[in-house]
Amino acid sequence: MKKLIVSLVFLIILITFSCNRNKYRYKIHGKIYIPTAGLHPIHDAIWYTDTISFDGDTLYYFNSDGSKVTIRPPYTLIDNTKQTIKRN
C-alpha cells in the first residue's frame, strides 16, 4: 500500500512539473468573421506568435506552413517582453 501511495504522489508531482507552457512573444486579441455562424458572425479570437509585421494599422504574420494570417483593427497586441498596444 505504501508503494502505491508513493508511486501516486510521484506521478502527481511528475505531471505537475512536466507541463511546459509555450511562451510566445505576442498575444493578440481581436475579432474574426465567420459567415456560417448565423445571426452573430463576429467572434472573439486570440492569436499567439513570435513574429509580426505591419501594413499600416493591419497586423500580419506567417504560420509555419507559409499561410499568411491578417488581423485588422480593432485588436489588442500584447508584447510579453514590453507593453500592451491597442489599435482601434
Within a domain: residue 1?
no
- Give residue 24's pLDDT: 87
Q: What is the pTM of this model?
A: 0.63
Q: List pLDDT tens digits, range 46-56.
A: 999 999 999 99
Distance CA 2, CA 41 (A): 56
Asked whether 33 and 42 are in contact (CB, 8 A), the reply is yes
pLDDT tens readout for residues 36-74: 888 888 899 999 999 999 999 999 999 889 999 999 999
**Residue 28, in any domain of the structure:** yes
Residue 2 belongs to some domain of the structure: no
Q: Count up the domains in the chain and report the number.
A: 1
Residue 35 counted as domain residue? yes
Domain annotation covers residue 12:
no
Within a domain: 11 = no
SS3 content of the chain, % helix, strand, coil (to 5): 20, 40, 40
Structural Rg of the chain based on CA atoms:
20
| 68 located within any domain | yes
Q: Which domain holds residue 69?
A: 22-87
